[in-house]
Amino acid sequence: MKIKRLFLILFLLNLLNYIDRQVLYAVFPLLQNDLGLNDLQLGTLASAFMLIYMCYAPVIGYLADRMNRPKLIALSALLWSGATLACATAKNYVSLLIPRALIGVGEGGFTTIAQPFLAEHYPKEKHASLLAIFGLALPVGSALGYVLGGVVGKHWGWRIAFMAAGIPGVFLAILAWVFLKDKSREIQTVRPTLKDYFPLFKNKPFLSVCFAQAMSTFVMGGLSAWMPMYLHRYLHVDAAQAGLQFGILVIVCGAAGTYLGGRTAAWLLTRTQNVYYKLIAGCFLATLPFCWLTLSMTHTLSVLTCLGIALILLFMPTGAIAAALVDTTSQNIRSMAFAVNIFIIHLLGDAISPTLVGLVSDMWSLKIAVFCASLMLVPGAWVSIRTQKNQLITK
């Protein structure tokens, strides 16, 4: 019962984690009209979050390997929820930028700790399916953030939208403080030193997973930024309708792919070795033909069908990647390992892909740019295959 309660609290916090970060984008037009913000200022609100989120992860990773993780989870949730509520009181750009950056601190703290903490309470054979279900919060929470911001913002204003997103997190932070316990940390007497982290950067299986996930994040970042524009430019879909269609695909196909990938990994674990790397490589390579078909077809329904299949395949390794990160790192430095992972996947992934896709689009075309972005899955698959073969040789 306690294990189920632990999962429920962490899953709901993870759901709010994505709701709170996405609600901003749904109220962009309202913020622009009310606060007089230009497009650059709106864009920096998103960039400030990602920059702080990415850079703070190693800091909280270091602290989490030494402190009480449930308390850090609770404080992180309280911080990002409080910052979301503070966004509701903003009167100008600066007073919105500061709490938006603080959301990155809170959510960086939670994301770094939550997955390894959760996995340690379950047997190894359940890690992939467990973390896949936990990862469903990404597509579902992101979608709810858009819906919450759009519906509440339209009827009651953007301030109420931020309040509606922030208040639940305060109560969940209290529940996390009271009910979450770190049994493994209570019996751990030796704390890692800075020297203990150095082997992490020589850990080839760990770095391979980080690189593979970075390539997937690169592709997903490029698709998220540019596919609505692609649908509008090449298929003449209304701009608002294009965003809605792509959003629905991400929700449905992201959830389906994440869940299906977790179940597939759990099934394969009973039949073969090095499942995680095989699943990552297989899904990445299987995605490419459907990316090509998406860009080759001219009928809207055919394009959306192929794109949906590509998204399912792209999301399928979610649980396997998280499980591989857990399995390739020791428990005493695992929070830092996830922090390094967060830094790498965003630095090499969605922090740069939208800009690079736009640059290639200006030089040639958006079709070429999107397909070039999808090709980044090839090195991700290659690294995964090599890692899988090396582990077989080692064994």
**Does 36 map to a domain?**
yes
In total, how many domains does the chain have? Answer: 2
Domain identity same for 164 and 206: no
292 and 170 in a common domain: no
**110 vs 10: CA distance, rounded Å:** 9
What angle separates helix 239-269 from helix 318-327, to the nearest 10 degrees?
50
Inside any domain, residue 192: no
Instruction: State the pLDDT at residue 184.
Output: 62
Q: What is the pLDDT of residue 188?
A: 54
pLDDT at 394: 46
Structural domain includes residue 124: yes
42 and 175 share one domain? yes
Looking at the structure, tell me whether residues 158 and 278 fall in a common domain.
Answer: no
Among residues 180, 213, 231, which one ends one of the domains?
180
Q: Are residues 155 and 213 in the same domain?
A: no
Maximum Cα–Cα distance for the chain, whole Å? 63
Q: 259 and 127: one domain?
A: no
Identify the domain containing residue 258 by its residue range. 199-394
Same structural domain, 366 and 272: yes
The one-digit pLDDT tens for each residue of the chain (395 residues) are 567 889 999 999 999 999 998 888 878 888 888 999 887 788 788 778 888 998 999 999 988 888 889 999 999 999 999 999 999 999 999 999 999 999 999 999 999 999 889 988 888 888 888 888 898 888 888 888 877 888 888 889 999 999 999 999 999 999 999 999 876 655 455 677 778 888 889 999 999 999 999 999 999 988 887 888 899 899 998 866 777 788 888 889 999 999 999 999 888 888 877 789 999 999 999 999 999 999 999 999 999 999 999 999 999 999 999 999 998 998 888 889 999 999 999 999 988 888 899 899 989 999 999 999 999 999 999 999 998 877 654 44
Residue 217 CA to residue 197 CA, distance in Å, equals: 25
254 and 282 both lie in a single domain: yes
Tell me if 189 is assigned to some domain: no
| Domain shared by 239 and 331, yes or no | yes
User: What residues have CB less than 8 Å from 274, skipping those under 6 apart?
Assistant: 388, 391, 392
Residue type at 124? K
**How many other CB atoms sit within 10 Å of the CB of residue 13?**
27
The amino acid sitting at 326 is: V
**Domain boundary residue among 153, 180, 207?**
180
The CATH number covering residue 153 comes to 1.20.1250.20
Judgement on whether residues 17 and 113 belong to the same structural domain of the protein: yes
For residue 55, being part of any structural domain is answered with yes
- Among residues 123, 151, 180, the one where a domain terminates is 180
What pLDDT was estimated at residue 391? 63
- In the prediction, which pLDDT does 93 show? 92
42: how many CB neighbours lie within 10 A of its CB?
A: 18
In the numeric block, which tokens belong to residue 248? 């629905």
Q: Which residue type is seen at 316?
A: M
Distances (CA, A) of 71 to 34, 159, 166, 331: 38, 29, 19, 18
pLDDT at residue 41 in the model: 84
* Residue 185 placed within a domain: no
Domain for residue 133, yes or no? yes
Task: Report d(CA 196, CA 192) in Å as an integer.
Answer: 6
In the numeric block, the tokens 């979608």 are attached to: 143
CA atoms within 13 A on the CB side of 223: 28
- 376 and 322 within one domain: yes
194 lies in a domain?
Answer: no
56 with 103, same domain: the answer is yes
